[in-house]
Homo-oligomer: A and B are copies of this chain.
Amino acid sequence: VAEREDFRDVLARKRDGRELTEDEVRGFVLAYARGDVGDPVAAAFLMAAYIRGLSVAETTAMTRAMIDSGDVLPLESVSRPTVDKHSTGGVADGVTLVFAPLAASVGLAVAKLSGRGLGHTGGTLDKLEAIPGFRTALTVEELEAQVERVGCAVAGQTADLVPADGALYALRDATATVASIPLIAASIMSKKLAVETDLILLDVKAGDGAFMKNPAAAGELAEACVSLAAQWDRPCRAAVTDMSQPLGTAVGNALDVAEAIRVLRGDEAGRLRDLAVFFVARALTILDGSTQETARAETEAALSDGRAAEAFARMIEAQDGDPRAVDDPDGILPVAPVRTDVEAPRDAWLASVETEAVGRAAMALGAGRVHKGDPVDPAVGVELFPKVGDAVRAGDLLGRIHARDAEAAARAKAQVLEALGWSDERVDALPLTYAWVGEAPRT
């Protein structure tokens, strides 16, 4: 009797490497969501699941139970084709900030529930809140109405959708059980499947700045997520993209927003812009049947003719932020009191970037948080311009540290320089994407 009630038999089976039934997984997850299973028991389950793995059937059952623990967001009142884009998290990864208004500006609708940053990776909500007045706490009704009216909305995860996920994620973070492919897939996809968009796009990062350290592991996670979507008959594609260097040039909050604005106004080229265009063009191809060439041309036109920047201004305004940030980021966004240039130490090719170290330098400046719930400083951060394969000359401007004081700036500058590897011989640029999962149409 005792074992039945307190799930010790379920724990023992997973501990011993046996596969749980759908009912066992479901019962456990729903009991945890109700508060009938405590954190210690759940922590032991997570560790057993991390070490022993979860089968596809177990992962599906976990995802289904997490979705069923809360509400879903049907988006029925949105007339345009809807798309959600999710990144597994990286450094200088402002794709969502560009993607949402850019997709809206070409006729799609983006309903995006985002998270906050933790550790060396930034969070979209923290970045948007660097815009004075910006409000990320939307009700689901506000979110849906804004998506229909403006074409895009980015809000915080609400407690009504997948309530089990927030608590489970915090527990995984505390217990060294984050980097498990089935647990990550269940966490991501329960949130994506609970918002009923017409298309789910996933950006699975691979490299030392990401949870998945190499493209093979990231590919496994991408496959696991796409397989889950298939069980719900939901169109889903996943790109495995490079995170062995920062994607854009800005690692911070206001700095990230400023970079997104430059891309949206057509003022900045590079990998961040390329990846955002890639995702929007793919979404157009899938949702309105455009050819890839037409979709790409249409997407790039929205960047150069002002539509994308305007869509961002409308989104900011709809969420009570100051839309003048789009025209005058330097005047509206918060600025750090100390700025220090970082110069190239010698003539060389940039050969490598310790990406996580760059993220940690920005975190140490105050841009990120060590513990959940810590405040972040919107103004501070790191800018780093060259990419692997670029040639520089001694004294060239490599980047800028934005800090609260000179001491913190000096420390961050040393950390950034320490993170860069140089070569006297030519170095190839890194690929932007490694794989694209889920292209074959499913029936």
A140 within 8 Å of B (CB atoms): no
Mostly, the A contact residues are: helix
Contact A2 B119 (CB under 8 A): yes
Contact A11 B175 (CB under 8 A): yes
Question: How many protomers of this protein does the assembly include?
Answer: 2
Residue of B nearest to A175 (CB): B44
Q: Which of A29-58 contact B (CB under 8 A)?
A: 38-48, 50-52
A371 within 8 Å of B (CB atoms): yes
A15 within 8 Å of B (CB atoms): yes
The CA of A318 and the CA of B52, in the complex, are separated in Å by 53
The CA of A41 and the CA of B40, in the complex, are separated in Å by 7
Interface flags for A153-189 (1: CB within 8 Å of B; 0: not) read 0000000000000000001001111000000000000
Interface residue tally on A, bucketed by range: 20 to 34
The CA of A163 and the CA of B42, in the complex, are separated in Å by 24
Contact B43 A12 (CB under 8 A): no
Give the Cβ gap from A268 to chain B, nearest Cβ, in Å. Answer: 33
Give the Cβ gap from A312 to chain B, nearest Cβ, in Å. Answer: 34
Task: Return chain B residues, CB-CB under 8 Å to A177.
Answer: 15, 44
Given contacts A47-B47, A51-B52, whether A370 and B175 have CB atoms under 8 Å apart is no
Provide a sorted-by-A list of 7 A–B residue pairs whose CB atoms are within 8 angstroms.
A8-B175, A12-B176, A40-B42, A40-B43, A43-B44, A44-B44, A47-B48
Chain A to chain B: the 4 pairs with minimum beta-carbon distance, closest first: A44-B175, A11-B176, A40-B43, A47-B47
14 more A-B residue pairs beyond the given contacts A39-B40, A40-B40, A43-B44, with a C-beta to C-beta distance below 8 A:
A1-B370, A2-B119, A6-B174, A11-B175, A15-B177, A40-B174, A40-B175, A41-B174, A43-B175, A44-B46, A47-B47, A47-B48, A51-B51, A51-B52
